[in-house]
Amino acid sequence: MKIYRAHSYQEMSRKAANIISAQIIMNPKCVLGLATGSSPIGIYEQLVDWYNKDDLDFARVKTVNLDEYRGLDKDNPQSYNYFMHHHLFSKVNIKEKNIHIPDGMNEDAEDECKKYEELIDSLGGIDLQLLGLGPNGHIGFNEPSNCFTRKTHVVDLAEATIEANKRFFEDASMVPRQAYTMGIGTIMRAKKILMVVEGEKKAEILKRALTEEVTPEVPASILQLHPDFTLVADDAALSKLDW
C-alpha cells in the first residue's frame, strides 16, 4: 500500500493524475477503469490540460467505468455516461468505440452484467482502476453487506448513498434506487488500484477501511489485500490516521 498526502484538492487531483498519465505513457493501449462523482473531476481536468499541451495521447486508450445508474438513459444529464463525456471523453482524442459504460437502460440485469464481465475479460482486464470512497465505505456501488460480491451486478443503493448523491439531482426522490456496478472481485482483479479521498467527512470511514478488519460491512477494507494499491488523500481525510 502506498499513501500520498495532499494539502489541497488541487494537489490531490494533480498527484492522482500523474499516476494515471504515467500509466498511459508507459502503456498507450492500457485499459483504464474510471470513476465518477465529485472527487475525480479535478483529475479529469488535469488530464485534459495535459492532453491540450500534447503531453498525453488517448488514441489507443480503452476505458471501462465502474458503474451506471439503472433506468437512466445515457443522454440523461445525471447519467454517468453523460458525466464522463462532459468531463473527459469529449475533451480528448479517445475513440468512442473504446469507451465502455454499463447500459443503464438494459432491463435484463443478468444479460447486462454478463456482457460487462465478458467485455472486461475480452480487453485483457483492467490495468489501473480509479476509485473514490463512499460515506459508508462503498467502492463502486458495492454497499455494505454480509459478503463480497464477485462480479458485475445490480445493487439497491443504501440510503446513505442516495443522501450523498442527491446533490446532483433536484431532490432525493429523483435519485435512482438501483445501479449496475462492477463487483468487488472485478475491482480486485485490476492490476493497479488508485483511490482518491478528500474531506474530513471521509476521515473515519477511511481509517476503518485501512486499519480495521477486512469485512464486507466496510467494502473498501478489501483494498488492504490488493498487491498494488495506492491512496491519494488530503490532510482532512487522513486526519484520523497516524501515518
Q: What is the CATH number of the domain that holds 126?
A: 3.40.50.1360
DSSP state of 202: G
pTM of full prediction above 0.85 = yes
Give the whole-angstrom CA distance, residue 31 versus residue 184. Answer: 18
Q: What single DSSP character describes residue 49?
A: H
Distance CA 162, CA 152 (A): 20
pLDDT per residue as tens, the chain (243 positions): 999 999 999 999 999 999 999 999 999 999 999 999 899 999 999 999 999 999 999 999 999 999 999 999 999 998 999 999 999 999 999 999 999 999 999 989 999 999 999 999 999 999 999 999 999 999 999 999 999 989 999 998 888 788 887 877 877 778 888 999 999 999 999 999 999 999 999 999 999 999 999 999 999 999 999 999 999 999 999 999 986
Residue 202's Cβ-side half-sphere holds a number of Cα atoms within 13 Å equal to 25
- Can you tell me the distance from the alpha carbon of 124 to that of 32, in angstroms, rounded to the nearest whole number? 11
Number of independent structural domains in the chain: 1
Residue 242 lies in a domain: no
Residue 241 belongs to some domain of the structure: no
Residue 206 lies in a domain: yes
pLDDT computed for residue 243 by the predictor: 67
> What does the pLDDT read at residue 192?
98
Write out the residue range of the structural domain in which residue 188 sits: 2-234
Cα end-to-end distance, the chain, whole Å? 12
Q: Give Cα separations from 161 to 10, 175, 218 (angstroms).
A: 25, 10, 14
240 in any annotated domain: no
Kindly state whether residue 239 falls inside one of the protein's structural domains.
Answer: no
| Active-site amino acid positions | 67, 136, 138, 143
Q: Is the dihedral of CA 49, 92, 38, 205 positive or negative?
A: negative
